Structure 1
Amino acid sequence: MYDPVERRNFYGRIHGKTLRDSQKTYLAEDLEALSLKGVTREDNPERTPIDLSRFEGKPLWLEIGFGGGEHLVHMAATYPQVGLIGCEPFVNGIAMLLGKIRAAEVSNLALHPGDVRDLFDVLPSACLDKAFLNYPDPWPKARHHRRRFVTQGYLTALARVMKPQAELRIATDIADYVRQSLEEVPLAGFALQDQGDTPWADWYSTRYEQKALREGRPPYYLTYRRNGGAGEV
């Protein structure tokens, strides 16, 4: 069962190659204003729900692990009437996103530069209308499959913060990730709506997808809806 005060291990990367001077500038000048307040335990030891008033009146979407930010900025520009939250612990990816935000001049998004579990702790229940999981870390070794996002610890926390009938999209190039998703995601309270090799109409192909295609790994696209509402249990 998901425990918001459990001791957590984090296995992903935090730092990569040396940042360019421009990227250091983005981090120094832009990150604080875009970051959600009250997500860390230091700033919010009681783990009370965070203030989302900047998105008042807007549907709220979340991208879990936005990589270099291509998809997140595309969605922000395509849907200015929507509020978006991007979550990513990898500093290099955060710096890349900040540069893209400046170039696109989008203002309808906010960031959590850290572990998404900390964000789940403080998001209000049933606040998200849509969530994206694009090319998550595959953790290919069998003994590491428990580290994948599509396990109950992550999924039940996500389910809590999604509205009934909210949409969850998963894109991956790993067939075994699809297998685990099909097994685990319904157990957390989601119903499969569609699966196949055709992307969504508003999809933006990321650099991870382009790499997969170059290396001969076909993409898979899964669409789920959160159970509840519209006559569902």
Structure 2
Amino acid sequence: MASDEDGHARKFYGRRRGRRLRPWREQLFDEALPRYGLPLPEEDAAAPLDPAALFGEPVDALWIEVGFGGGEHLAAQAKAHAQARFIGFEPFVNGVASLLRYLEEARLGNVRVHADDARPVLERLPDASVDRFFLLFPDPWLKKRHHFRRFIQPETMALLARLLKDGAELRIASDDMGVARWMLAHVTEHPAFEWLARRPGDWREPPADWVQTRYEGKALAQGRRPVYLRFRRRPRGQDVG
């Protein structure tokens, strides 16, 4: 089993199921997920993945969201950007069922869903193949002994630096200031990423094309102000720290 830089065995941490799905949602999950699921080749679990093969057509722009929660953000972005192709990662079955409902209602064919850990798939994607990457309100893993479980780590930043095209955007959001500082520190420490904030209050303002998530709405209702962080992948050759 692979390990991170501190020797922790790398595996998925987090819930995979919540309350039992209603019968119609369970049927939707069983019937729709095979249509929207990421068609990973079974013969070689480590073989490189071609985005064109995953969508059955050339891919001009690939957008990725890791941990899409209830799927409202991913579905809205896919509807607004029909020319792009999207891959959403979410191991939580209830969240996947929610996204599938949005995809079916809007008849969105530009989305592929992977109901499991993102990292093994991301590691198989080609260099400079991703145009935009979203990580919105990830699990904060607040206890210090659990910080190694957070998605943003030095090894993850190296992976994202490899995957993102020059000029591609990385968007991160959190309603926990400790986690926001952690993510900001790790991203800005990597020479491949430029923080796009220009004014002190920029990280409190969502981007112009922002789509509010269900979790975000609850946080705001409870008085928690989210932080919105945007980064650009520097051109290769200018990312030497």
TM-score by length of 1: 0.90
Map residues 149-228 of structure 1 onto 2, 5 A cutoff: 149-188=151-190, 189-194=192-197, 195-228=202-235
Q: How many aligned residue pairs are there?
A: 227
Structure 1 unaligned regions, length at least 5:
none
TM-fit CA distance, 1:44:
4.7
Contact 1:196 1:220 in 2 (8 A): yes
Map residues 101-120 of structure 1 onto 2, 5 A cutoff: 101-120=103-122
Q: Identity over the aligned pairs, expressed in percent?
A: 41
Q: Distance in 2 between matches of 1:221 and 1:164?
A: 21
SS in 1 for 2:21: coil
Contact 1:2 1:157 in 2 (8 A): no
Structure 2 residue aligned with 1:232, among 227, 232, 238? 238
> Which residue does 1:49 correspond to in 2?
48
**Pairwise CA RMSD of aligned residues?**
2.0
> Which residue does 1:87 correspond to in 2?
89
Contact 2:204 2:227 in 1 (8 A): yes
TM-fit CA distance, 1:211:
1.0
Contact 2:51 2:59 in 1 (8 A): no
> Which residue does 2:99 correspond to in 1?
97
Q: 1:46 to 1:113 in 2, by over 3 A?
A: closer
Larger mean Cα displacement after TM superposition, 197-206 or 144-153: 144-153
Whichever residue aligns with residue 191 of structure 1, its letter is: E
TM-fit CA distance, 1:2:
6.4
Contact 2:28 2:101 in 1 (8 A): yes
TM-score by length of 2: 0.88
Contact 1:197 1:220 in 2 (8 A): yes
> Which residue does 1:8 correspond to in 2?
10
> Which residue does 2:146 correspond to in 1?
144
Contact 2:135 2:171 in 1 (8 A): yes
Contact 2:50 2:126 in 1 (8 A): no
Larger mean Cα displacement after TM superposition, 108-117 or 220-229: 220-229
Structure 2 unaligned regions, length at least 5:
none
TM-fit CA distance, 1:192:
0.8
Contact 2:59 2:85 in 1 (8 A): no
TM-fit CA distance, 1:186:
2.4
Q: Distance in 2 between matches of 1:103 and 1:109?
A: 13
